[in-house]
Amino acid sequence: MLNKKSVNIRITIPKLLPLIIAGLILVFTCGEALAGRCSSCGKIIDDSSVFCMYCGVKVSEKSVSLFDIKKARRGGELINAAARGDLRGIKSLVDSGVDMETRDFKGDTALAKAAGVPLGKSGAIAVDFSQKTGREGIYAVGDCCESYHLVSRRWVHVPLGDIANKQGRVAGANIGGKAMIFPGIVGAQSFKVFGLEVAAAGIDEREAAAAGYHPVSAAIWGNAIAPSMPGSKKVGIRLVADRASGRLLGAQAVGETGAVSRVNALACALWAGLGIDEIGYLDLAYAPPFSPAWDPIHIAAQTLKSKM
């Protein structure tokens, strides 16, 4: 839940989402501070524009109201910090002008504890791939239990409704005598704030290093639709890969449109264990209203590949 407080912005974001997402939101919004706003139509335009690309009004010093220069500098610093993958730097910049608060979402495990059901390292109920707990005859599903993360190869707590539904079906099948397993997750998740789509899947650099990978990352900004189409929208994509194997480890995206759909595609790549080379040339559905010929996914993958 987010709300504006005078000049500052207080952001409350669940800890299950990487801190980098919060940084990307702010990069997207503060990045516009590097541009101006047309006083006629109110749209964001490039500071060097002579005519507004939206309404055609001639731009002059009087017709363009630039954002506060301090915000502009902070926006640029945030962009650079995000590009470096500097989570500490992002948090420091955010703390200087934005109140950030993170909250844990924990399932209710009181009944499980009372019944002697073992908990996992995350604090949620430990289960196996059949959703069985460590106590004979007891199953657990949903927000109170762990899931196996296919990328980090660890049992984690990700309380989301779609995961709960799948786990419930698996538990019900096994209880009813039909053998079934829940294979795991890649941590795909999304939300919307200030008209922006925000999504993530996989793991970030910190989690990757803890899992024994050699993480490398890259962030790009591109168009969600073909530049030739009117009303182009920005979309930012950040990818994390393993330098040793080239395997994709994580993805985050933010934009007015196209962020969630692109992370869904990248979640499939994570599920299949695709490498950055393969993602750079994926055959994606193309039409100018939906993407450029080279989709931001392709550009992000090829940019990351150049750093490996």
* Domain contains 142: yes
* Domain contains 210: yes
SS3 content of the chain, % helix, strand, coil (to 5): 35, 25, 45
From 47-51, 94-98, 161-165, 250-254, the region with the lowest mean pLDDT: 47-51
| Band of pLDDT at residue 12, cut at 50, 70 and 90 | low
Per-residue pLDDT at 32? 41
pLDDT digits (tens, 9 = 90+) for 117-140: 999 999 999 999 999 999 999 999
pLDDT digits (tens, 9 = 90+) for 193-219: 657 788 999 998 889 999 999 999 998
* Domain contains 182: no
Q: Check: pTM over 0.75? Answer yes or no.
A: no
Instruction: Identify whether residues 75 and 8 lie together within a single domain.
Output: yes
Per-residue pLDDT at 148? 97
At residue 35, φ and ψ (nearest 5 deg) are -115, -165
Quickly count: other Cβ atoms within 10 Å of residue 223's Cβ.
19
Quickly count: other Cβ atoms within 10 Å of residue 103's Cβ.
11
Instruction: Identify whether residues 10 and 97 lie together within a single domain.
Output: yes
Tell me the pLDDT of the chain averaged across its residues: 78
Helices (H), 205-258: 205-210
pLDDT digits (tens, 9 = 90+) for 222-255: 889 998 888 878 888 999 999 999 999 999 988 8
Instruction: Identify whether residues 171 and 214 lie together within a single domain.
Output: no
Domain span holding position 69: 1-104
Per-residue pLDDT at 303? 93
The closest alpha carbon to 13, from 196, 149, 150, 269, belongs to: 196
Last residue of a domain, one of 81, 104, 127: 104
Beta strands in the chain (DSSP E): 2-5, 8-14, 36-37, 44-45, 99-103, 147-149, 154-156, 189-193, 196-202, 215-223, 234-242, 248-255
- Give the Cα-Cα-Cα angle 304, 305, 308 (nearest 5 degrees): 95
Instruction: Identify whether residues 167 and 123 lie together within a single domain.
Output: yes
Q: In total, how many domains does the chain have?
A: 3
